[in-house]
């Protein structure tokens, strides 16, 4: 049912955008393939707030999984020039206004992302948050949201833990905590590329 609803939304929105790469993505057929045959683009954002209505994308990175393996040569990482300063988010992301003065316009980063997405399923750790920022940017730039198949390691792990216990402990769904349950080592977080790679490794472990 979710896939049918996604297809209907895509059909409606593809007529609302004049940006050819986004229109092409929304026009692609939604095919079902086995895990090893699916191309995944694992995305992570650093943002200036936890609400897309109040914050901006400060950095964005993605890692590609093809043939059941991570392809680091296809990874990308962009600092994004902000309309406002990073403010208190610098405490969490270690990004400063000076860092982002050298960032690219959001249109450049988003155009590069869309160019890597044909035939892909998106993967996030907390898709609801990151997709809210991505869709805000896509709507602002090109008049339509990015409606692609999405997998969410956080939500999948939440479902798994909920079947095992009545209550999921606070913090149990953080990326590094999820990785530990799959025997993956701790990594340095609060860097979009590091988190994208960490999520890609988790996604592979969850499907191993």
Q: What is the number of structural domains in the chain?
A: 1
CATH of the domain at 63: 3.30.420.10
pTM: 0.92
Q: Which residues of 174-199 are buried (b: 16+ CB within 10 A; e: fewer)?
A: ebbebbeeeebeeeeeebbbbbbbbb
157 within some domain: yes
CA pair distance 36, 49, nearest whole angstrom: 35
Is there a domain that residue 168 lies in?
Answer: yes
Residues spanned by the domain of 192: 34-142+149-206
Reported confidence tier of residue 3, pLDDT bands at 50, 70, 90? confident
* Residues 201 and 184 sit within 8 Å (Cβ to Cβ): yes
Integer Cα distance of 64 and 198 in angstroms: 12
- For residue 128, which phi and psi values (nearest 5 degrees)? -60, -45
pLDDT, tens only, 89-120: 544 455 665 665 678 999 999 999 999 999 99
Q: How many CB atoms lie within 10 A of CB 84?
A: 9
Residue 174, in any domain of the structure: yes
170 or 42, higher pLDDT = 42
Asked whether residue 41 is domain-assigned, the answer is yes
Task: Tell me which residue has tokens 């809210």.
Answer: 132
Q: Where are the beta strands (DSSP E) in 80-148?
A: 120-124
- 7 part of a folded domain: no
Domain presence at residue 42: yes
Q: Which of 129-143, 147-161, 165-179 has the lowest mean pLDDT?
A: 165-179
Residue 17, domain member (yes or no) = no
Q: Is 11 domain-assigned?
A: no
Higher pLDDT among residues 190 and 128, named by residue: 128
């Amino acid at each position: 049912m979710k896939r049918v609803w996604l297809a209907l939304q895509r059909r409606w929105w593809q007529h609302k955008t004049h940006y050819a790469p986004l229109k092409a993505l929304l026009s692609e057929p939604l095919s079902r393939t086995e895990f090893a045959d699916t191309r995944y683009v694992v995305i992570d954002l650093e943002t200036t707030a936890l609400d897309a209505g109040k914050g901006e994308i400060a950095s964005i990175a993605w890692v590609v999984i093809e043939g059941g393996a991570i392809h680091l040569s296809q990874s990308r990482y962009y600092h994004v020039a902000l309309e406002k300063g990073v403010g208190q988010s610098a405490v969490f992301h270690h990004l400063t206004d000076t860092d982002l003065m050298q960032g690219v316009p959001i249109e450049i980063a988003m155009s590069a992302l869309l160019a890597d997405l044909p035939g892909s399923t998106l993967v996030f750790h907390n898709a609801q948050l990151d997709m809210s920022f991505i869709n805000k940017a896509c709507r602002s730039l090109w008049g339509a949201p990015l409606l692609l198949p999405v997998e969410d390691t956080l939500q999948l792990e939440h479902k798994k833990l909920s079947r095992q216990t009545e209550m999921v402990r606070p913090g149990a769904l953080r990326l590094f905590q999820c990785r530990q349950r799959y025997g993956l080592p701790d990594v340095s977080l609060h860097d979009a590329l590091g988190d994208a790679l960490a999520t890609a490794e988790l996604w592979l472990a969850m499907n191993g």
